[in-house]
Amino acid sequence: MEKKNLDWANIGFGYHETDKRFVSNYKDGVWDEGALTADANIVINECAGVLQYAQTCFEGMKAYTTEDGHIVTFRPDLNAQRMEDSCKRLEMPVFPKDRFVQAVADVVAANEAYVPPYGSGATLYIRPYMFGSSSVIGVKPAEEYQFRIFTTPVGPYFKGGAKPLTIKVSDFDRAAPHGTGHIKAGLNYAMSLHAIITAHEEGYDENMYLDPGTRSKVEETGGANFLFVTKDNKVVTPKSGSILPSITRRSLMTVAKDYLGLEVEEREVLLEEVKDFAECGLCGTAAVISPVGKVVDHGKEIVFPSGMNEMGPITKKLYDTLTGIQMGRLEAPEGWIHVIK
Ligand code: PLP
Ligand code: COI
């Protein structure tokens, strides 16, 4: 298979249309068998549930070319499960998990020419999503839905790659107590747009959102969970009912414990204790692990000992081990790697 002639090393994190996407429609209580299509556009009624009441959720995952030339995805069953959780919370029909995993494999295989080569620094980002497609004007769930998966080749989410980020403690909330912060609803991201534009205008790379109930605990950023490392090398991640259960973060906690022999803790993390950590990073499919150098809380700067020039040593080990597993350089735990070709 001849690869597309793209500038893989400088591709950035953007949308680049690829050849095929998967589409399945839900009508009269059942999903049709679905198909791959070349048409990247969607035509829906002006009153569709997604347009009026934001009835939509999505997933994010990646396909990797391994060192020995296979194309693989990472724990797609967990994305399928999380999408099920999102759909249930938004009163949307569940796309069966086994069909989700198969459709991801089919779309990736159909866009093989766009899967970046091993060692290029790029990957194929996969975006499954679902939306209410039939008309609703009273506030209620739609009756018809569309489930789609497209792919786009991507580079690093944050410009500058591994350069430590500067994070602002935000005055905005991204989720409400008992709301939808724990699922991947489009509305959570709409909530974060003004906050991220404001942060960027002020020179920050990202926001640290606090718990919406008390605003005293660390939650997450607009698109990644936090990981901290204590001065005695314990890996700590915030526990909260209003953050997205990141698959990368859950995997990194296993990697820290089982591959690196580190102690791990998932617990509430107070904003007050952030100054005591040795390292900080953002983790997610898009972010992988992006190091944080500085957190700014209303003018008060917390600079981590790992500094503004490079990843902290534990963060680096976590990064190397996780990407080693994803790219086939290290043996993966049972069931983590799904080989497509
Ligand atoms: N938190 C938010 C708000 C996200 O959008 C994402 C991205 O999916 C994550 C965390 C990281 O989750 P995952 O590691 O499953 O990609
Ligand atoms: C991901 O990491 O897959 C995300 O969804 C984060 C962001 C690009 C929305």
For residue range 280-292, what is the model confidence (pLDDT) as tens digits?
999 999 999 999 9
Least distant ligand from the CA of 248: 1
What digits encode the pLDDT tens for the residues 255-274?
A: 999 999 999 999 999 999 99
For residue 46, the CA-to-ligand 1 centroid distance in Å is: 30
Q: How many CB atoms lie within 10 A of CB 38?
A: 9
**Which atom of ligand 2 is the closest one to the Cα of 286?**
2
Atom 9 (ligand 2) nearest CA: 223
> CA–CA separation, 183 vs 91, rounded Å?
12
Task: Classify strands 235-238 and 264-267 as parallel, antiparallel or unpaired.
Answer: parallel
- The greatest distance separating any two alpha carbons of the chain, rounded to the nearest whole angstrom, comes to 58
Give the chain's mean pLDDT.
97
pLDDT at residue 1 tops 90: no
Q: Quick check: CB of 284 below 6 Å from ligand 2? A: yes
Distance 9 CA to ligand 1 centre (A): 23
Name, in order, each residue with C-beta under 8 angstroms of 62's C-beta and a sequence gap of 6 or more. Answer: 73, 74, 123, 124, 125, 126, 154, 285, 326
Q: Which residues are catalytic?
A: 184
Q: How far apart are the CA of 127 and the centre of ligand 2, in A? A: 9
Q: Which atom of ligand 1 is nearest to the CA of 225?
A: 10
Question: Of all residues in the chain, what percent carry a pLDDT higher than 90?
Answer: 96
Q: Is 222 in the pocket of ligand 2 (CB under 6 A)?
A: no
For residue 184, which atom of ligand 2 is closest to its CA?
Answer: 5
What are φ and ψ of residue 52, in 5° steps?
Answer: -90, -45
Confidence of residue 20 (pLDDT cuts 50, 70, 90): very high
pLDDT at 253: 98
Q: Verify whether ligand 2 is closer than 6 Å to residue 223 (CB atom).
A: yes
| Ligand nearest to the CA of residue 283, numbered in listed order | 1
Q: Is residue 217 scored above 80 in pLDDT?
A: yes
Q: How far is CA 155 from CA 9, 79, 280, 287, 315, in A?
A: 7, 21, 22, 10, 20
Q: What is the number of the ligand closest to the CA of 188?
A: 1
d(CA 286, ligand 2 centre) in Å: 5
Q: Yes or no: say if 110 and 17 are a contact pair by the CB < 8 Å rule.
A: no
Query: Which residues line ligand 1 at a C-beta cut-off of 6 Å?
Result: 60, 220, 223-225, 244, 246-249, 284-285
- 159 pLDDT more than 90: no
What pLDDT score does 228 carry?
A: 98
Question: What are φ and ψ of residue 4, in 5° steps?
Answer: -65, 150
Residue 198: per-residue pLDDT: 97
Ligand 1 pocket test: which of 56, 61, 209, 225 has the largest number of ligand atoms within 8 Å of its C-beta? 225
Atom 1 of ligand 1: nearest residue by CA position: 224
Mean pLDDT value across residues 237-255: 98
Q: Which atom of ligand 1 is nearest to the CA of 174?
A: 3
248 CA to centre of own chain: 8
Ligand 2 centroid to Cα of residue 222, in Å, is 9
Residue type, 116: P
Question: Does residue 160 carry a pLDDT above 90?
Answer: no
Residue nearest to atom 5 of ligand 1 (CA): 223
DSSP tag of 48: B
Ligand 1, residue 192: give the atom nearest the CA.
3
Dump pLDDT digits (tens) for 35-81. 999 999 999 999 999 999 999 999 999 999 999 999 999 999 999 99
Q: Which of 268, 264, 219 is nearest to 245 (CA)?
A: 219
Hey, which bits of the chain come out as E strands?
21-27, 30-31, 35-37, 56-58, 61-65, 71-74, 123-132, 145-154, 165-169, 206-208, 225-229, 235-238, 264-267, 279-284, 288-297, 300-303, 337-339
- Local confidence band at 307 (pLDDT 50, 70, 90 cut-offs): confident
Per-residue pLDDT for 158 more than 90?
no
